[in-house]
């Protein structure tokens, strides 16, 4: 495993224009919703709302480690929620991928905390390409470990799916895994082909994720759940690929109208399948 120290670049003053509901979980900041903090184990919490990615919080005697940091507008309230479980500073933030509902708070955290931010090298490259603020200082290729307060946290890149830079974050002492958007509990997935995501590889990536040792799952979005539900999601992704291939066989232009999501537990009210369909049809044609 190789850790690459990268140059910190702070990009200020970049505004992201809203481009419809499908961007709620990507870049544009939606109307702010209040945050809730929920205990996961004796040493791990999660900060949640319906508008952006789940934030894991691990307090230790040496400082606090976060996984993801929502949108910039959520930064002050994240700090307030962290203070309800720890009086220590935030030392590390591990980003699961580049989308703004998971990294949008980076710039705020870099200004207001001593945190070092870690991300997969592809995800950082995607942030650079998207001119996103709050670039992480540290990247990794396959795996990285962070040790704080006598606890280990490990980040694993196990393949493509949602993007080409997805990382899952394992808390071995808590037997908890944060999946980022490789698993969204209750929602339809988004395959970001602009970031080289893959419906063909997604379930194979999850096969490798399921080989890790954990019991509890913090998904990228939605309620905290169990490993068995991640296994069900893996099966649903494989079934989605099969149904998408059938829908695409009738032509890519209106394939979304033929795609049947019934029984998959994937609410597509945000329209992610419509955005993913052209890329899926192109990938499945190969």
Give a yes or no: residue 20 inside a domain.
yes
Give a yes or no: residue 271 inside a domain.
no
Domain of 64 in residue numbering reads as 3-7+16-227
Helix (H, G, I), strand (E, B) or coil at 203: helix
Cα radius of gyration rounded to whole Å, the chain: 18
Tell whether the model's pLDDT for residue 6 goes beyond 80.
Answer: no
Task: Provide the 10 A C-beta neighbour count for residue 229.
Answer: 17
Instruction: Note if the pTM is more than 0.75.
Output: yes
Average pLDDT over residues 136-161: 98
| Residue with token string 């990536």 | 205
For 124-141, write each residue's pLDDT tens digit: 999 999 999 999 999 999
The pLDDT assigned to 92 comes to 98
The pLDDT assigned to 51 comes to 87
What would the two tokens of residue 23 be? 């961007």
The pLDDT assigned to 32 comes to 85
CATH number of residue 207's parent domain: 3.60.15.10
Give a yes or no: residue 44 inside a domain.
yes
Tell whether the model's pLDDT for residue 2 goes beyond 90.
Answer: no
Give a yes or no: residue 285 inside a domain.
no
Give residue 53's region: left, alpha or beta (phi > 0; psi -120 to 50). Answer: beta
The pLDDT assigned to 34 comes to 93
Tell whether the model's pLDDT for residue 275 goes beyond 80.
Answer: yes
Give a yes or no: residue 127 inside a domain.
yes
Long-range own/partner contacts, residues 15-19 (CB < 8 A, 24 or more apart): 16/100
Average pLDDT over residues 183-205: 97
The pLDDT assigned to 22 comes to 38
Give a yes or no: residue 232 inside a domain.
no
- How many residues comprise the chain? 286
Give a yes or no: residue 248 inside a domain.
no
Report the mean per-residue pLDDT for the chain: 91
- Nearest partner of 258 among 228, 281, 284, 235, judged by Cα: 281
Backbone angles phi, psi at 179, to 5 degrees: -95, -5
Query: How many domains are contained in the chain?
Result: 1
For 242-271, write each residue's pLDDT tens digit: 999 999 999 999 999 999 999 999 999 989
The pLDDT assigned to 33 comes to 87
The pLDDT assigned to 29 comes to 75
The pLDDT assigned to 14 comes to 24
Tell whether the model's pLDDT for residue 168 goes beyond 60.
Answer: yes
The pLDDT assigned to 258 comes to 95
Give a yes or no: residue 254 inside a domain.
no
């Amino acid at each position: 495993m190789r850790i690459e120290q990268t140059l910190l670049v702070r990009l200020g003053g970049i505004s992201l224009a809203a481009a419809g509901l499908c961007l709620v979980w990507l870049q544009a900041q939606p109307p702010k919703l209040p945050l809730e903090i929920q205990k996961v184990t004796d040493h791990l919490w999660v900060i949640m709302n319906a508008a952006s990615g789940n934030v894991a919080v691990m307090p230790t005697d040496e400082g606090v480690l976060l996984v993801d940091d929502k949108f910039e507008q959520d930064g002050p309230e994240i700090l307030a929620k962290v203070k309800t479980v720890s009086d220590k500073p935030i030392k590390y933030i591990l980003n699961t991928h580049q989308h703004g509902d998971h990294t949008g708070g980076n710039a705020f955290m870099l200004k207001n905390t001593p945190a070092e931010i870690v991300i997969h090298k592809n995800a950082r490259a995607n942030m650079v390409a998207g001119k996103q603020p709050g670039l992480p200082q540290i990247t990794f290729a396959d795996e990285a470990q962070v040790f704080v307060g006598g606890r280990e946290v490990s980040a694993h890149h196990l393949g493509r799916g949602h993007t080409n830079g997805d990382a899952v974050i394992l808390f071995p002492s808590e037997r908890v895994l944060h999946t980022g958007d490789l698993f969204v509990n209750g929602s339809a997935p988004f395959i970001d082909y602009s970031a080289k995501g893959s419906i063909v590889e997604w379930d194979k990536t999850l096969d490798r994720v399921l080989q890790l040792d954990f019991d509890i799952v913090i998904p990228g979005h939605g309620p905290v759940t169990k490993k068995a539900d991640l296994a069900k999601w893996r099966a649903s992704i494989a079934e989605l690929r099969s149904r998408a291939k059938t829908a695409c066989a009738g032509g890519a232009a209106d394939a979304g109208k033929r795609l049947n999501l019934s029984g998959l537990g994937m609410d597509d009210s945000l329209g992610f399948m419509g955005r993913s369909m052209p890329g899926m049809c192109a990938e499945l044609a190969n």
